[in-house]
Amino acid sequence: MFGLAILQFVTVLSVLGAGQTPSPSGPGGLAGTYDLAGTAHVSISPFPAHDYPGEMAATLSRAPSPGAFSLRLEARGYGCTLEVRADQDGLLQFPEEATCPIEIAQPDARGHVDAQLRMGRGRIVRGRLEMDLRFDVDGRIQMKIPSRTVRIFGRDIQSPETWAPTAPVHGTVAASGQGRRSPEPIGR
């Protein structure tokens, strides 16, 4: 008898909509933070091209319009937010040519670059996000020149630490990764 009463209660709640939870396969169940692991191919002149393994946090938050989300990408202390759309199958649609302004503030480098999205693909299936992104990068940075000791005519001369002149940088960054949604904190 108790089991039947619970079943009727749950049925009434679901009909009224009070007990609905988002479907994990539909767009409502996609929100959350995903811990991604992957690689990035960085080809920005005047530096040599290099592949980097890395980790990134991708936080997907619902936006007011149906199927719309805010996607916050964070890696190595830098972040960028893109507005995306998601369909019922978890396929993410990225905006065309969105730009992420990035202020570089490292002990040995500083400046500003703009990363313009050229291609974005993403899909969430059963709590796992797979993403492939390509950005064009353009900006200006300065590199720190460390202090050095130079021996001239038997005497040590110390050059001061300084910043190199600002130089233009441009190129591409291609990153791909995948990972699971982090568990929701208790009490949320």
Q: What is the pLDDT of residues 14-56, one digit of tens each?
A: 222 233 333 333 445 789 999 999 999 999 998 899 999 989 9
The answer on pLDDT for 116 being more than 70 is: yes
**Sequence spans of domains, the chain:** 23-180
Rounded Cα gap, residues 60 and 62, in angstroms? 7
Give the global pTM. 0.73
The tokens describing 128, both together, are 């796992």
- What's the pLDDT score for residue 131? 94
For a pLDDT cut of 90, what percent of the chain falls above it?
62
- What's the pLDDT score for residue 143? 93
- What's the pLDDT score for residue 176? 94
- What's the pLDDT score for residue 174? 95
- What's the pLDDT score for residue 7? 25
If you search the block for the tokens 């709590």, which residue do you land on? 127
- What's the pLDDT score for residue 67? 85
The tokens describing 170, both together, are 């441009």
Reported as a pLDDT band with limits 50, 70 and 90, residue 185 is: low
Nearest to 54, CA basis, from 68, 74, 24, 27: 74
Q: Where is average pLDDT lowest: 3-7, 22-26, 76-80?
A: 3-7
The tokens describing 51, both together, are 């592949």
- What's the pLDDT score for residue 159? 87
Give, in order, the Cα–Cα distances in Å from 18 to each of 6, 11, 12, 13, 36. 15, 10, 9, 5, 33
Q: Is 16 helix (H, G, I), strand (E, B) or coil?
A: helix
Most confident residue range from 19-23, 59-63, 136-140: 136-140
Mean pLDDT of 56-62: 93
What average pLDDT does the structure give for the chain? 82
- What's the pLDDT score for residue 12? 27
Mean pLDDT of 137-159: 91
